[in-house]
Amino acid sequence: MYKVLTGPNSPESSLLRYWMSFPLRTVLPLYKNNTVPVAVMKRPTYLQEPLHQIKQLFASLILVQGSPMVQRKTYNHWILEVTTLGKLEILRPNLDWPRIWKETAALPSNIRETMFLFNQRLLPTKTRCHRLDPSKDATCPICHQYPETDEHLTF
């Protein structure tokens, strides 16, 4: 969105500038002359999060007006919020997690990703899918006895 906002004119950029230029006028000198908010309609809710992220990236000096956007810096900034202790690490603090992560680093990337998803409780299990769509059954399709949780799926 930042590239569209600061890039050449296009239908997308004019629409984004219409909705986002007033709140971004303090961080993007490009829009400093826009002193009138759009008062006719409410800003779409799906633009609130990108607006917040762009402001946060400017406050962290990751985005700088006139400099190209560096995706690696942006990714590293966003991943900092995700790299807190996982839910499984919090539930089982007695395990040697530094050693587990050291051993996991040597595994193929798809297994590392599965380990991360398991640790953060993000695997697409039947229990999780049942919470999102109650019409689906949470029972394990293999044993047909217990709910399919992360641990049950792994065992």
* 3-state DSSP of the chain: CHHHHHCCCCHHHHHHHHHHCCCCCCCCHHHCCCCCCCCCCCCCHHHHHHHHHHHHHHHCCCCCCCCCCCHHHHHHHHHHHHCCCCHHHHHCCCCCHHHHHHHHCCCCHHHHHHHHHHHCCCCCCHHHHHHHCCCCCCECCCCCCCECCHHHHHC
Are residue 68 and residue 130 in the same domain, yes or no? no
Are residue 73 and residue 9 in the same domain, yes or no? yes
Output the pTM of the full model: 0.43
**43 is in which domain, residue-wise?**
2-82
Tens-place pLDDT, residues 81-116 = 655 677 778 888 888 888 888 888 888 888 888 888
Are residue 38 and residue 18 in the same domain, yes or no? yes
Domains in the chain: how many in total?
2
**155 falls in which pLDDT band (50, 70, 90)?**
confident
